């Protein structure tokens, strides 16, 4: 099966934060099968930001990071999503270094000066499109010039002075400085913009056009990331909150752990196969969470069970369906990536979520 060559996305946060929104964006990006680089330049104080030479040092840092990332992309030109000080860093880096070239740019909470010469950036084929999201109640963008000086500006509150057919400005009257950060906003506004296929102004080359076969190993890793963020984290959060229930909505179950059963083949993760397996074990169906429910199975109630049906997608993505060894190896890659996500230093579910191979299950599930 062929698909457009996967996109690459770089994100960059603002000051006085480590950019938690970048981590939340990862599940959306993973679901789209894109390569994602959430850049983190550490906690940057308001005082550091106000001093021009310290602030501009991050432009050099971004250039170095960008040049380290580029060789990993196999010819794909990345798009950039930037917030607050991140918008300043990206815009000024492009203006200073003509060799830096991106696909699309999303600016939110922008502090880029209002007279920034986007026309020059487009003419030099350094970006295909720019989307500037304007917050009508963005206080920090509105006062930035008083704090940081004339090389910044309130473009995140009042927009840019000069219009351009490649510069899209969208106003959200009730938004404050960080109100864009929400899954519904990403899906409705960011994904459609990033999914556009657009050539540069003076070069017919399109950054995203090459087709390539999908690797079952890449698909396995993407599926594991999606499953972890969309299911495992939400169920373990529900367990911590005492929000695991039987299907009849009785009192909460005494849930303590989530056991993830990894089948031997993608076919055993088919929905019908999963249902048959749990019926054979005599497990009951319930759900975890209240506002955002996730289904699961249980017996006594202390342990919740799930088989990741996302594994079954490997059968449809793999262009070598007759290669059984490749599919078995893809399952192993899925398990490996999922284990890394669960036990990683930024995970809060390493004590709650356990992975068990189907061939290592006890005779009876408790």
DSSP state string for 268-280: GGSHHHHHHHHHH
| 207 and 285 housed in the same domain | no
Residues 6+ apart with CB under 8 A from 359: 264
| 270 and 337 housed in the same domain | yes
Pairing of strands 294-298, 303-306: antiparallel
Structural domain boundaries, residue 47: 2-212
Predicted pLDDT of residue 319? 45
| 263 and 165 housed in the same domain | no
Task: Give the CATH number of the domain where residue 29 resides.
Answer: 3.40.50.1820
Q: 152, 177, 212: which is the final residue of a domain?
A: 212
- CA 9, CA 117: separation in Å to the nearest integer? 23
- 317: in domain: yes
Q: Tokens 């295909």 — which residue?
A: 128
- For the whole model, what pTM was predicted? 0.57
Q: 212, 232, 261: which is the final residue of a domain?
A: 212
Task: Give the CATH number of the domain where residue 235 resides.
Answer: 3.40.50
Residues of the chain with pLDDT under 50: 1-4, 318-322
- 365: in domain: no
Predicted pLDDT of residue 322? 47
Please state the φ and ψ torsions of residue 97, each to the nearest 5 degrees. Answer: -115, 100
């Amino acid at each position: 099966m062929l698909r457009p060559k996967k996109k690459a996305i770089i994100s960059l946060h603002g000051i006085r934060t480590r950019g938690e929104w970048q981590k939340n964006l990862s599940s959306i990006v993973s679901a789209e099968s894109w390569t994602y680089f959430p850049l983190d330049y550490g906690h940057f104080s308001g005082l550091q930001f106000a001093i021009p030479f310290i602030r501009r040092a991050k432009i050099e840092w971004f250039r170095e990071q960008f040049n380290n990332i580029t060789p990993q992309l196999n010819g794909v030109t990345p798009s950039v999503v930037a917030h607050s000080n991140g918008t300043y860093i990206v815009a000024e880096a492009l203006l200073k270094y003509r060799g830096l070239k991106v696909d699309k740019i999303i600016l939110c909470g922008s502090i880029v000066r209002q007279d920034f010469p986007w026309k020059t950036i487009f003419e030099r084929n350094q970006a295909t499109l720019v989307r500037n999201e304007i917050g009508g109640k963005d206080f920090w963008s509105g006062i930035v010039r008083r704090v940081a000086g004339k090389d910044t500006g309130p473009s995140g509150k009042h927009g840019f002075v000069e219009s351009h057919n490649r510069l899209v400005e969208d106003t959200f009257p009730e938004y404050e400085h960080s109100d864009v950060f929400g899954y519904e906003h990403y899906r409705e506004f960011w994904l459609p913009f990033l999914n556009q296929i657009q050539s540069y102004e003076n070069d017919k080359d399109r950054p995203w056009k090459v087709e390539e076969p999908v690797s079952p190993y890449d698909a396995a890793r993407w599926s594991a990331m999606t499953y972890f963020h969309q299911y495992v984290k939400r169920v373990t959060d529900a367990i911590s909150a005492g929000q695991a229930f039987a299907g009849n909505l009785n009192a909460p179950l005494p849930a303590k752990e989530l056991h993830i059963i990894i089948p031997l083949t993608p076919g055993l993760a088919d929905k019908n196969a999963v249902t048959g397996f749990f019926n054979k074990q005599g497990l009951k169906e319930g759900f975890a969470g209240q506002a955002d429910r996730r289904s699961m199975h249980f017996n006594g109630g202390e342990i919740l069970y799930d088989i990741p049906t996302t594994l079954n997608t490997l059968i449809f993505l793999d262009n070598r369906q007759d290669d059984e060894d490749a599919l078995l190896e893809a399952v192993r890659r899925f398990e490996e990536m999922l284990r890394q996500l669960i036990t990683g230093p930024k995970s809060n579910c390493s004590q709650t979520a356990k992975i068990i191979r189907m061939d290592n299950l006890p005779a009876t599930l408790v």
